[in-house]
Amino acid sequence: MGIGGYSVLRQLGYGNVGTFHMDEGHSALLTLALIEEQLATGSGTSVTDEDIVAIRKRCVFTTHTPVPAGHDQFSKNLVERVLGGDRARLLESAGCYHDGSLNMTYLALRCSHYINGVAMRHGEVSRGMFPGYPISAITNGVHAVSWTAPAFRDLFDRHLEPWRRDNRYLRYAIGMPVDDIRRAHKATKRAMLAALKSRAGVQLDEKVFTVGFARRAAVYKRPELLFTDIERLKWIARHVGPLQIVYGGKAHPRDDEGKVTIQHIFAAAAALKGVISVVYVDNYDMQWGQILTSGVDLWLNTPKPPEEASGTSGMKAALNGVPSLSVLDGWWIEGCIEGVTGWAVGTDATSEPKAEAASLYAKLDSVILPMFYGRPNDYGRIMRFCIALNGAFFNTQRMLSQYISNAYSADCWGHWPTRIGNTQVAAGDKSSPPASRQSGMR
Ligand SMILES: *Cc1c(COP(=O)(O)O)cnc(C)c1O
């Protein structure tokens, strides 16, 4: 991908790219193409520290996951077989092996001047995983127009006219009438119920509080946390207020543990039968993502901290005025204002499944359901805050402008230390900040 991407750009005539952005380690062999280019134009056969610094100036790297299996590494043998002996030797002479293997993350880290995680907490976690590297953070966002349901697009067109061109206008949702938001949500909920009827043959009740949980069925996402105590859940539905639940998500074909989590959901659904309706949407895709994130009354997320790098589905929900109830991890640490944009499961410091489940039930039965059924206008105000505070911020426009200001401008040379692990960092790094930084404001 990295080598091919580089030559595609060349073939298309983009010979003079200022900044290459490697999104995740998969494209890190781009650096090999740049090393070859550097050698062809410069000193000749062996890679010098100065060559690495020159490449570093042209590269930006975003790391995406705190889960170790997400960081590819390949044995020397495999590298030789796939890339050939010459390229394998070049990587070795450039100091690009880590502990004897080609680790795509370390390769990208070594060759980038700006490095970031995808939420503030993920930046912190990544600094712990890769000590010594100057890792910043830019929080992910979702494409606002694509993830806003038709009823809310119409509403925003009426009240926040330039919002499609400039998502920051969503901030002024704070002045929209709550009734309009509730009316738009009624339409998105109806659209979801109709879609569920035709897909799954189940008719859910429009008046009943509806919880949504849909994403890849990976173990760290813990879809079954809500079902920790089936009797408690039944008690809540009987005594506090009725609820119904929509699930969605498929497992990676080779992720057997992920598949087991789906079986657990089906078992729980059977155990809840007659008290709480649970619908499972199979073959969950982006179209269903849009239907569910906009149609439910509450978006649930219960990952195992700190494994959720960012998460994005809660951002989609926020654009449609749907509050989140979520474990404090990834973007939600930034997006959660308790009782304003949604609610937290547990606290930032705890991650004990029993305590988290207890907190989840307590929020449902003493805070969220009483408000939904007893004070619908208060619930409507929460929906409005979701759009004004979170929809206005956690979108792609804001994200991209942060990449432009922080990663792509000439002003963002990271603070590289002189030594990383056992490696002396290439000479010249410390003197590398561009003049604009040196003369800039303090
Ligand atoms: C948004 C989306 C996701 C990501 O969900 P998270 O809760 O952020 O993991 C996954 N799958 C589909 C189809 C989506 O639309």
Residue 431: the pLDDT is 37
Residue showing tokens 């408000």: 371
Look at residue 437 in the predicted model and tell me its pLDDT. 35
Instruction: Reply yes or no on whether the pLDDT at 441 is more than 90.
Output: no
Query: Measured from the CA of 289, which atom of ligand 1 is nearest?
Result: 15
Alpha helices in 297-368 (DSSP H): 313-319, 332-335, 353-363
- pLDDT tier for residue 350 given thresholds of 50, 70 and 90: low
Partners of 73 in the β-ladder? 103
Collect all residues with Cβ–Cβ distance below 8 Å to 58 and sequence separation of at least 6.
17, 18, 19, 20, 34
User: Which amino acid, residue 69?
Assistant: A
Tokens of 8: 């595609």
Q: Which residues contact 25 (CB under 8 A, 6 or more apart)?
A: 63, 71, 72, 103, 104, 105, 107, 108
Neighbour tally for 252: CB within 10 Å = 12
Task: Give the pLDDT confidence of 231-265 residue by residue, as tens digits.
Answer: 999 999 999 999 999 999 999 999 999 999 999 99
Tokens of 117: 């995680």
pTM: 0.92
List the residue whose alpha carbon is closest to atom 1 of ligand 1: 313
> Does position 429 have pLDDT exceeding 60, yes or no?
no
Which residue lies with its CA nearest to atom 10 of ligand 1?
215
Q: Residue 73: is its pLDDT beyond 70?
A: yes
Helices 230-239, 353-363: axis angle to 10 degrees equals: 10
In angstroms, what is the span from residue 215 Cα to ligand 1's centroid? 5
Task: Domains for the chain: give ranges and CATH numbers.
Answer: 2-140+398-424 (3.40.50.2000), 144-394 (3.40.50.2000)
C-alpha to C-alpha distances, 83 to 77, 86, 101, 241, 419, nearest whole angstrom: 10, 8, 14, 61, 29
Q: Is the pLDDT of residue 430 over 70?
A: no
Cα distance between residue 29 and residue 213, in whole Å: 37
CA distances from 211 to 43, 295, 397, 408 (A): 62, 10, 29, 40
State the Cα–Cα distance between residues 188 and 292, nearest whole angstrom.
9
**How many C-alpha atoms does 328 have within 13 Å on its Cβ side?**
18
Share of the chain above pLDDT 70, in %: 92
Phi, psi of 43 (to 5 degrees): -70, -25
Q: DSSP readout, 350-374? A: ---HHHHHHHHHHHIIIIIHHHHHH
pLDDT of residue 1: 92
301 CA closest ligand 1 atom index: 7
313 Cα–ligand 1 center, Å: 5
Among 304, 107, 143, residue whose Cα is nearest residue 225: 304
The per-residue pLDDT for range 185-221, each reduced to its tens digit, is: 999 999 999 999 999 999 999 999 999 999 999 999 9
Residue ranges lining ligand 1, Cβ < 6 Å: 215-216, 284-286, 289, 301, 311-313, 316
Q: 290 C-alpha vs ligand 1 centroid, how far in Å?
A: 10
Nearest alpha carbon to residue 144 among 135, 156, 131: 156
Round to whole Å and give the CA distance between 376 and 379: 5
CB 419 within 8 A of CB 132: yes
Binning pLDDT at 50, 70 and 90, where does residue 442 land? very low
In terms of Cβ atoms closer than 10 Å to its own Cβ (0-12, 13-18, 19+), residue 121 is buried
